[in-house]
Amino acid sequence: MFVDQVKVFVKAGDGGNGLVAYRREKYVPLGGPAGGDGGNGGDVIFKVDEGLNTLMDFRYQRHFKAKRGENGMSKGQHGKNAEPLILPVPPGTLVRDEDSGELIADLTKQGQEAVIAKGGRGGRGNSRFATPRNPAPDFAENGEPGVERNLQIELKLIADVGLVGFPSVGKSTFISVVSAAKPKIADYHFTTLAPNLGVVETKDQRSFVLADLPGLIEGAHEGIGLGHQFLRHVERTRVIVHVIDMASTEGRDPYDDYVTINKELEEYNDDLPSRPQIIIANKMDIPEAEENLVVFKEKIPEGIEVFPISAITRDGLQDVLYAIADKLDEIPKIEKPVEDQTERVVYRFEESEKPFEITRDPDGAYVLYGEPIEKLFKMTDFNRDEAARRFARQMRAMGVDEALRKRGAKDGDVIRLLEYEFEFID
């Protein structure tokens, strides 16, 4: 089964908790705090594996969670960092944040990696908070929560050449005779329900990857037929090969087919019509095809190559394969070495994230929310009084107390943060 669009949830590992501990060894007076830091949580990483050509692995497992870091240990020992969770994806994978629509990664090369969700850092042990004023702190940090993300993963096949055309014009037959691909072939529309990839080698030892894309029809860019599901795969191709039923076996005019398909490509992506295009006039073994070919050549713009073939009798195949290979040689993949790329840093003003926001619930309670204050809350161990007092001081420094007073908060009012409630004391 070909799967090229999935939605998944990923969560990086939380950091390990810091430890509250003290040195209690013989002959070591006033040993002091010795709690170690927690280990960092594991990242979620996507890595390209060219052995994959579908997102099938994500179809049945939609939730992925990396391991958390180990907690800190006594004698100042650091907890072990968690290993990253590496998920293999096929070349041509686009990863977007579903909630914001932001493009996170475009993975195209073998072995390419991208950190999709960053693991949380480990919490600091109590030895990290020792000061002359407080030489034996009785608190430590909890680990930082790992990043959570809802992702939309999309696959755009990476092929040199894309076959486009109406259903039943002979695309599947063509790819089956020029490569080892074995697509389904039958005498009805939409036999191809998923793109087929085939490696083609010409007699002069040049090779390229050919993608047979499911039949397009008028209105495909708006979701009619199957074209809307697979038009995205045309975007990666360097050459478009347009297969036309020149015998007009279904009563359609070949030139109208040519115009209609090009219009659909343009409606989907303005850049597609500018791609180099080769026209294959298929089914030339049928008598009516010769007359139609003469009329067709008179109508199309000059400079576009038309190659008459018969995929059934295999006439003309070598000529068109050489033409495709020649066209690909003219437009090689241009990849500038990293050291040759010019880098330009653009500085723009970005408003810093507010540490907190305040709203009110219908019952009159004040609600605090915002990523900075929520992260601070999660990293506080409220089982220890000293840690709770530190959190209160941090909130005061952030301006929470003053902001609540301005909103009208009075003694005894309920303050909510995540699922927890506090009492405001002025």
What amino acid occupies position 116?
I
Q: Is 74 annotated as a binding residue?
A: no
Q: 14: which 2 tokens?
A: 């939380």
The answer to whether the beta carbons of residues 79 and 71 sit under 8 Å apart is yes
Q: Is 136 annotated as a binding residue?
A: no
Q: Is 247 annotated as a binding residue?
A: no
Q: Is 391 annotated as a binding residue?
A: no
Q: Is 116 annotated as a binding residue?
A: no
- DSSP β-bridge partners for residue 417: 368, 420
Q: Is 192 annotated as a binding residue?
A: yes
Q: Is 311 annotated as a binding residue?
A: yes
Q: Is 58 annotated as a binding residue?
A: no
Q: Is 215 annotated as a binding residue?
A: yes
Q: Is 169 annotated as a binding residue?
A: yes
The answer to whether the beta carbons of residues 267 and 189 sit under 8 Å apart is no
Measured between alpha carbons, how far is 52 from 211 in angstroms, rounded to an integer?
Answer: 15
Q: Is 170 annotated as a binding residue?
A: yes
Q: Is 57 annotated as a binding residue?
A: no
Q: Is 403 annotated as a binding residue?
A: no
The answer to whether the beta carbons of residues 375 and 143 sit under 8 Å apart is no
Q: Is 94 annotated as a binding residue?
A: no
Q: Is 257 annotated as a binding residue?
A: no
Q: Is 364 annotated as a binding residue?
A: no
Q: Is 172 annotated as a binding residue?
A: yes
Measured between alpha carbons, how far is 345 from 357 in angstroms, rounded to an integer?
Answer: 32
CA-based nearest residue to 239, from 213, 274, 210, 276:
276
CA-based nearest residue to 305, from 251, 257, 244, 238:
244
The answer to whether the beta carbons of residues 99 and 150 sit under 8 Å apart is yes
Measured between alpha carbons, how far is 388 from 396 in angstroms, rounded to an integer?
Answer: 13
Half-sphere exposure of 181 (CA within 13 A, CB side): 25
Q: 352: which 2 tokens?
A: 């810093």
The answer to whether the beta carbons of residues 356 and 398 sit under 8 Å apart is yes
Decide the pairing of beta strands 239-245 and 161-164: parallel
Distance (Å) of CA 216 to CA 34, 223, 380: 69, 10, 58
| CB neighbours of residue 387 within 10 Å | 22
Q: Is 203 annotated as a binding residue?
A: no
Q: 315: which 2 tokens?
A: 């006439």
| CB neighbours of residue 277 within 10 Å | 18
Q: Which residues sit in the known binding site for GTP?
A: 165-172, 190-194, 212-215, 282-285, 310-312
Q: Extract the annotated binding site.
A: 165-172, 190-194, 212-215, 282-285, 310-312
Binding-site residue ranges for Mg(2+): 172, 192
